[in-house]
Structure 1
Amino acid sequence: MKLQDALDAGAPPIVAILRGIRPEESTAIAEALVEAGIRLIEVPFNSPDPARSIAAMAEAVGTHAAIGGGTVVSAAMAQSLDDAGGTFMVSPNIDPAVLKHARELGLDLLPGFLTPTEAFAAIDAGARDLKIFPGSVLGSPYVKAIREVLPADVRLWAVGGVGAANIAEYRAAGVFGIGAGGSLYRPGDSAADVGAKARELLDAWKAAEI
């Protein structure tokens, strides 16, 4: 499933970032997230054997959720993501060559930026979903200011320090979606733990409807 397909099917724009997940636990945690209502799942490439985890998740829940790879910083990583069955690519930076290769593979793009210059470089490279990272460093007023200068068709996602406690202020600042990492999953968490935290996060998202 592609990222936009998941959104069109009613998935909330929340990416579960599973940094450090191991292949042997990936299926159970992906199933717990989908059952809780989160349908956008990212496996960062600095996790143990990320391609195996992505492949396992894509096979288990890929018809119900979009499975992507994060911390993708090279064309080889983008290729590995595509080969594993992932459908969207998240990066911490703007590398036009990597974004170009990912687009050619048919991957949805979600590159990370901090400054307006980086944001417009990503837009020039074909991205229409942008990750402001780390989102909490300059806070929601900065997010609001960035949102005001971006093209209307560009969707802004806040990642880094954004969770149930501060979703409302970031939604008010104009973000389209968020990425949740440590507030949702840490290595060693059980599938039940992740599912419970996912439901809490979704409740906070719904309470912040604007």
Structure 2
Amino acid sequence: MQEERLEKIKEAKVTAVIRTETMETGEKTSDACLQGGISSIEVTWTTPEAGELVKKLNEKKTDKVIIGAGSILDGEMAKEAVESGAEYIVGPNFSREVCDIAMKQEIPYLPGCMTINEMLVAEKYGASIIKLFPGNHFGPSFVKAVKAPIPHLSIMPTGGVSLENIEDWFEAGVTAVGIGGEINRAGEQQDYEKVKQLAEAYMEAAEKK
């Protein structure tokens, strides 16, 4: 089960990180991302009624789509995410408690790491993909440097990924990327057509790699 879910994240290439002021905006933004071809949606737990949003998205998704939970900091949040139907868990940090819950539930865990030591510790305890966060403080050259001595490490930068540099990230060897800023801003402005167009543009760029 975990491997199947992990493969979906990798095949998606782009994960839309949904962080909105209301659940309704989050749902509409997610729908627009899906219409634009993004098949991995990460609902952050800072979004109001995030658990309900995960449930709603799961009720209408296709088999190709995978819905995860983001900004998960501790075991209590992780359990809530699992009960809501999240198929993967993402955090801004590495938590052994969250990792253990994810492993028990056979759910991929993507913890946020900044240093090589953090990455190797997270991998040792079972992290599926390392979330390089915040990605804008590093850049593609950092990933390339890390993967030279540790080529098997799966890395997904979040923060700092744009249409201008997404191809550079993939050329550096990332497994996938997380995007959110532009998409969430358009969503908050209720410009869901722009959200869809951005999703299409990111997918087109990702598919080149």
1:29-75 deviations in Å (ceiling 9; x for gaps): 33322222110000111111211111111112153311001010011
Quick one: distance in 1 between partners of 2:176 and 2:29? Answer: 21
Which residue of 5, 8, 22 corresponds with 1:6? 8
CA contact (8 A) 1:68 1:89 kept: yes
Per the TM alignment, residue 182 of structure 1 is displaced from its structure 2 partner at its CA by: 0.4
Task: Output aligned runs, 1:10-49, within 5 Å.
Answer: 11-20=11-20, 22-49=22-49
Q: Say which structure, 1 or 2, has more relative contact order (CA 8 Å, 6+ apart).
A: 2
CA distance in 1, matches of 2:31, 2:98: 30
Shift of the alpha carbon at 1:109? 0.9
Per-residue Cα deviation, 1:104-139 (whole angstroms, up to 9, x for no partner): 122211111010110011011101311111112122
TM-score by length of 1: 0.89
- Residues 14, 202 of structure 2: 8 Å contact kept: no
Match of residue 93 from structure 1? 93
- The answer to whether the Cα contact below 8 Å between 1:22 and 1:53 also exists between their aligned partners in 2 is no
Distance 1:104 1:177 in 2: 24
**In 2, Cα distance between the equivalents of 1:105 and 1:188?**
37
Q: State how far apart, in whole Å, the 2-side matches of 1:17 and 1:63 are.
A: 19
Mapping of residues 183-194 of structure 1, within 5 Å: 183-186=182-185, 187-194=188-195
Q: What SS does the corresponding residue of 1:149 show, helix, strand or coil?
A: coil
* Distance verdict in 2 for CA 1:157–1:20, change over 3 Å: same
- CA separation of 1:203 and 1:90: change in aligned 2, threshold 3 A: same
Look up the SS of the partner of 2:79 in the other structure. Answer: helix
User: CA distance change for structure 1 residues 56 and 24 in 2, over 3 Å: closer, same or farther?
Assistant: same
Letter of the structure 1 residue corresponding to residue 52 of structure 2: R
Contact 1:27 1:60 in 2 (8 A): no
* Structure 1 residue matching 2:148: 3-state secondary structure: helix
Aligned to 1:155: 154
> Partner letter of residue 205 of structure 1?
A
Distance 1:68 1:7 in 2: 10
Aligned position for 1:58? 58
CA shift digits 1:116-167 (9 cap, x unpaired) = 1100110111013111111121222111111223352x31111111021101
1:38 and 1:134 map into 2 onto residues whose CA distance is: 21
4+ residue runs of structure 1 moved beyond 4 angstroms?
none
Q: Tell me how far apart the structure 2 counterparts of residues 87 and 12 of structure 1 sit (CA, whole Å).
A: 14
Letter of the structure 2 residue corresponding to residue 206 of structure 1: E
Structure 1 unaligned residues grouped into runs of 5+: none
Q: Which amino acid aligns with 1:6?
A: K
Could you tell me the TM-score, scaled by structure 2's length?
0.89
C-alpha separation in 1, matches of 2:154 and 2:167 = 17
Identical pairs, percent: 27
Larger mean Cα displacement after TM superposition, 101-110 or 172-181: 101-110
Provide the residue aligned with 2:164 in structure 1. Answer: 165
Q: CA RMSD in A?
A: 2.0
Within 1, Cα distance between the matches of 2:8 and 2:97? 27
Unaligned runs of 5+ in 2: none
Aligned length: 205
Partners of 2:184 and 2:39 in 1: CA distance: 15
